[in-house]
C-alpha cells in the first residue's frame, strides 16, 4: 500500500471522451466563420431532439441557464414557491432564486438519492408554482409518481436532467430516454463532468411549442429577429427587444462538438453500464458498504457511481488514503441548505415535512468512485482493493 502516488498512474474521478472527431468537427464553423447561433446549433438541436424523442430542443450556454429559462417559462415569478430537493448541486436551488422565488426543500429517498414522492404532498401550498425534480447522478427519479401528483395539483414539472443524457425510464411499458416529454421541460448539462460534453453547454427539451419559442427569444436578448433571418433577408430588417432577455447562447463550436458527442453517447453509456455492473458485483463483498441500486423502472447512465461508507467509517480518512494510493474520489452530493448561501438567507428556506435528514446523511457518508470510459478492469480492481483497505483501516 505504501507505494508513493507519484510512481503510479493516477486514477482520476472522471475523464471526458474527446478526440480527433471533435477536432475535425470544430473545423466546420471555424472555416465558414459562422461561430454562434448558426447551422451547427440548429443541427445539434434537431439531432438531440430526435435522440431523446422530444418535439423541441433548444440549446443554451449551460444547464443552470436552462433551468432559469425553464422556470420562467413555467411562470415562476417573485414570491412563488418551487418544490425541489436540497440534496443536489447548488445550481438546482439557485435557479429558483434567480426568479425571485423560494425553494421549498423536500427530502430524498435513501436508495435512489432522488426526491421522495411521498413527501411532496405536504410541501405543496397555494403558492407552489412548479416542481423541479432532479435525476441525480444520472439515476432517473420516480417521474410517474411525481407527474401524477403534479397533474392533480395543476403544477408543471421541470426535470433537472443535468446528469441524465442517455438515462432511460420505463414509461407505459416502454423504455424511453430522459428528455422525451414526461414532465413539461427537461434541462441537460454538457459540462465535462457529465457523460457527454461540449466544454460547457445545456439543452432544454419540451413538447410545448410556446415554451420553445420563449426559450429561443430569451436566450438571445429577446431579440425579435434571429441572426439567421437578418443574414438571409434581402430587405433591411430592424429588430426590437420585446421583453427582458438574456445572453444564454451556445456557440457553433460547442454545438459541432456536441454533435460528435451525441453520436458517441450510446457507446459511452453502454461502457459506463458495464463498469457499474463490475463495481456492483465486486463491491458487494465489502461489509456495510451501501451500493447504488436501479429501481426496476430505471436505467441509469451512471454519470457518477456513489456508494455510502459503512456506519462508523471516517469518509474523509478513506478519501485521503485512496488519494495516497493514487485514486481520486469525491464526496457525495451536497445539500444546498447547509451552505452559507442558503443558511444565511434572511427568509430561511421553508420545508414542511420535518427535515432533510436523509439527504444530510447521504451527503455525509456518500463517496463517488472513479468511473470513465477509458477505465480498465485493472484500474477498477485497484479502486476496489484500495477502498476495502481504507474502510478497514478507518472504521471504528
Ligand atoms: C451539473 C449540474 C447542474 C449545472 O450544470 P451546468 O451545465 O454546469 O450549469 C445542475 N444540476 C445538477 C443536478 C447538476 O449535476
Pair 291, 307: CB distance under 8 Å: yes
> Which one of the listed residues 191, 194, 272, 382 is annotated catalytic?
194
pTM: 0.96
Provide mean pLDDT across the span 55-75. 98
CA of 91 to the centre of ligand 1 (A): 6
Regarding beta strands 128-134 and 157-160, do their DSSP bridges make them parallel or antiparallel, or are they unpaired?
parallel
Q: What's the sign of the alpha-carbon dihedral 331, 295, 286, 375? A: negative
Q: Establish whether residue 113 lines the binding site of ligand 1, counting it when its CB lies within 6 angstroms of any ligand atom.
A: no
Q: Rounded to an integer, what distance in angstroms lies between the CA atom of residue 175 and that of residue 182?
A: 12
Residue whose CA lies nearest to ligand 1 atom number 6: 63
Q: Which atom of ligand 1 is nearest to the CA of 202?
A: 7
pLDDT, tens digit, 9 for 90 and up, residues 151-202: 999 999 999 999 999 999 999 999 999 999 999 999 999 999 999 999 999 9
pLDDT at 53: 98
Question: What Cα–Cα distance (Å) separates residue 370 from each residue in 31, 40, 317?
Answer: 38, 32, 17
Q: Is residue 280 over pLDDT 90?
A: yes
What is the distance of C-alpha 264 from the center of its chain?
18
Extents of the domains making up the chain:
5-393
Using an 8 Å Cβ cutoff, are 159 and 178 in contact? Answer: yes
- CB–CB of 337/349 below 8 Å? yes
Q: How far is the CA of 189 from the centre of ligand 1 (A)?
A: 6
Predicted local confidence at residue 227, as pLDDT = 80
* Cβ-based neighbour number of residue 187 at 10 Å: 32
Q: Are 67 and 132 in contact (CB under 8 A)?
A: yes
Q: Is 163 in the pocket of ligand 1 (CB under 6 A)?
A: yes
194 in catalytic set: yes
Residue 4's pLDDT is 54
Q: Residue 230 has what pLDDT? A: 83
Strand-pairing partners, residue 241, are 223
Decide: 64 in ligand 1 pocket, CB within 6 A: yes
Cα 110 from Cα 306, distance rounded (Å):
12
Q: Is the CB of 14 under 6 A from ligand 1?
A: no
Q: What is the mean pLDDT of residues 12-24?
A: 97
* 5-393 placed in CATH 3.40.640.10: yes
Atom of ligand 1 nearest to the CA of 91: 10
CA distance 152 to 204: 24
91 lines ligand 1 (CB under 6 A): yes
Give the separation between CA 367 and CA 330, rounded to whole angstroms: 6
Amino acid at each position: 500500500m505504501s507505494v508513493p502516488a507519484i510512481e503510479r498512474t493516477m486514477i482520476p474521478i472522471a475523464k471526458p471522451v474527446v478526440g480527433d472527431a471533435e477536432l475535425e468537427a470544430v473545423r466546420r464553423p471555424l472555416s465558414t466563420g459562422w461561430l454562434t447561433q448558426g447551422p451547427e446549433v440548429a443541427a445539434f438541436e434537431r439531432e438531440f431532439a430526435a435522440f431523446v424523442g422530444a418535439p423541441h430542443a433548444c440549446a443554451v450556454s449551460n444547464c443552470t441557464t436552462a433551468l432559469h429559462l425553464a422556470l420562467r417559462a413555467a411562470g415562476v415569478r417573485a414570491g412563488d414557491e418551487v418544490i425541489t430537493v436540497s440534496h443536489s448541486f447548488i445550481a438546482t436551488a439557485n435557479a429558483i432564486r434567480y426568479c425571485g422565488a423560494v425553494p421549498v426543500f423536500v427530502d430524498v429517498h435513501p436508495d435512489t438519492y432522488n426526491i421522495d414522492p411521498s413527501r411532496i404532498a405536504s410541501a405543496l401550498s397555494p403558492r407552489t408554482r412548479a416542481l423541479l425534480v432532479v435525476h441525480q447522478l444520472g439515476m432517473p427519479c420516480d417521474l410517474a409518481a411525481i407527474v401524477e401528483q403534479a397533474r392533480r395539483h395543476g403544477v408543471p414539472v421541470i426535470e433537472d436532467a443535468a446528469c441524465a443524457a442517455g438515462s432511460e425510464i420505463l414509461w407505459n411499458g416502454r423504455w424511453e430516454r430522459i428528455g422525451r416529454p414526461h414532465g413539461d421541460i427537461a434541462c441537460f448539462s454538457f459540462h465535462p463532468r457529465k457523460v457527454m460534453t461540449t466544454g460547457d453547454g445545456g439543452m432544454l427539451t419540451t413538447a410545448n411549442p410556446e415554451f420553445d419559442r420563449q426559450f429561443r427569444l430569451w436566450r438571445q436578448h429577446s431579440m425579435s429577429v434571429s441572426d439567421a433571418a437578418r443574414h438571409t433577408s434581402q430587405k433591411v430588417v430592424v429588430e426590437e427587444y420585446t421583453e427582458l432577455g438574456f445572453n444564454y447562447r451556445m456557440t457553433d463550436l460547442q454545438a459541432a462538438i456536441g454533435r460528435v458527442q451525441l453520436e458517441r453517447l450510446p457507446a459511452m453509456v453502454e461502457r459506463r453500464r458495464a463498469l457499474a455492473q463490475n463495481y456492483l458485483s465486486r463491491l458487494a463483498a465489502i461489509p456495510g458498504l451501501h451500493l447504488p441500486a436501479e429501481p426496476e423502472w430505471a436505467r441509469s447512465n451512471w454519470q457518477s457511481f456513489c456508494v455510502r461508507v459503512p456506519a462508523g467509517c471516517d469518509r474523509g480518512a478513506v478519501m485521503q488514503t485512496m488519494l495516497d494510493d493514487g485514486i481520486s474520489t469525491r464526496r457525495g452530493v451536497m445539500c444546498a441548505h447547509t451552505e452559507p448561501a442558503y443558511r444565511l438567507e434572511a427568509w430561511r428556506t421553508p420545508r414542511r415535512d420535518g427535515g432533510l435528514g436523509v439527504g444530510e446523511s447521504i451527503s455525509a457518508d456518500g463517496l463517488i468512485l472513479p468511473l470513465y470510459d477509458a477505465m480498465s478492469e485493472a484500474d477498477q480492481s485497484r479502486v476496489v482493493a484500495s477502498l476495502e483497505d481504507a474502510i478497514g483501516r478507518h472504521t471504528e
